[in-house]
Copies of this chain bind each other. A is one copy, B any other.
Amino acid sequence: MGELDLIRAFVAGLGERGGRVLRGPGDDAAVVRADGVQAVTTDTVVDGVHFKLATHTPADVGWKAMATALSDLAAMGAQAGEAYVALGLPPDFGDARARELVQAMEQLAEICGVTIAGGDVTESPTLFATVTATGWADDAQALIGRDGAHPGDLVGVTGALGASAAGLRLLEAGHTDDPDELIQRHRRPWPLLGAGKALAEAGVTAMIDVSDGIATDARHLAESSGVNVSIRLGALPVASGVEAVTANPAELAATGGDDYELLFTCPAVKADAMQPAVMPIWIGEVREGSGLELVDAAGRPVALAGFEHL
């Protein structure tokens, strides 16, 4: 199948959602109805860097590329809108696998109410997928950056950590056909769009998705906000099953990436109001100062073997 026919096959399988898309794939550019403010993010996954075709199906790759981009919109509290997909396909990849990859992107887009409104397909020696995702909000104040944390804020996270990193360890150990939930969490991360929007509406002051590991991401948030973020290592929620994969589950929860939970800060007076919407787990506090501090139950600093080099 030629490139144009392949694109036609992709496009035939795409649905339209949200009512913004006035002109979809097939022209020089898509055209969407715009208002308020728009959040835009670009995320790329590359074979051998972010996944391996030996341990990921083409559908896993498509899902992951879409999920990581949408997760960035979740971390802004945006209403996800459209996605634009650039694919680099090796000559021997084949039409069937390419379609499987795009179908998984579309599957997740449908679940999230997102329209794949445009894209580009090209040959490439290395398989890669770049997803540019756009989200919408009424005004800039409705979107949450990394830079709004204030001393005195509480630090929360939306769910358990370490599952994806533990799943990756299982995959690397050869458990590629295992229906293990940890592996599934690694292969098919979920963008927490609903939780992100609920948290933004509930008044969080800063938010970031946990893609690099919560210790690293908390440090990004601390640096952007010009504050110190103190996290109690023992308070980190560790995903079920992680303890079977590592001798130090708390460490993997702190440093393992690709969980795509949301890390956020909020004034203590608003903490209770968040409970019904997202069931946050409170893991620390924001203080005057800079950088990240990991502490034990007594407030003493904790060193992490997997963290110093970052």
Contacts and interface: CB of A to CB of B under 8 A. Distances in A.
A143 interface: yes
The secondary structure that dominates the A interface is: strand
A76 B29 contact: yes
Contacts of A41: 28-30, 84, 118
A76 B31 CA distance: 9
Interface residues of A, number: 60
Nearest to A134: B40
Given A31-B140, A117-B40, A124 B49 contact: yes
Closest 8 pairs (CB-CB, A-B): A34-B34, A29-B41, A29-B39, A28-B75, A132-B132, A126-B126, A28-B72, A86-B130
A134 B29 CA distance: 9
Interface stretch (A19-27, A56-64, A97-105): A19-27
A299 interface: no
A35 B32 contact: no
A39 B75 CA distance: 25
A46 interface: yes
Contacts of A128: 88, 124, 126, 128
A42 B145 contact: no
B29 A78 contact: yes
A124 B122 contact: no
Interface of A: 22-23, 26-44, 46, 48-50, 72-73, 75-76, 78, 82, 84-86, 88, 117-120, 122-126, 128, 130, 132-136, 140, 143, 145-147, 207-209, 224
Contact of A22 (B37, B85, B122): B37
B32 A38 contact: yes
Given A36-B34, A124-B128, A28 B118 contact: no
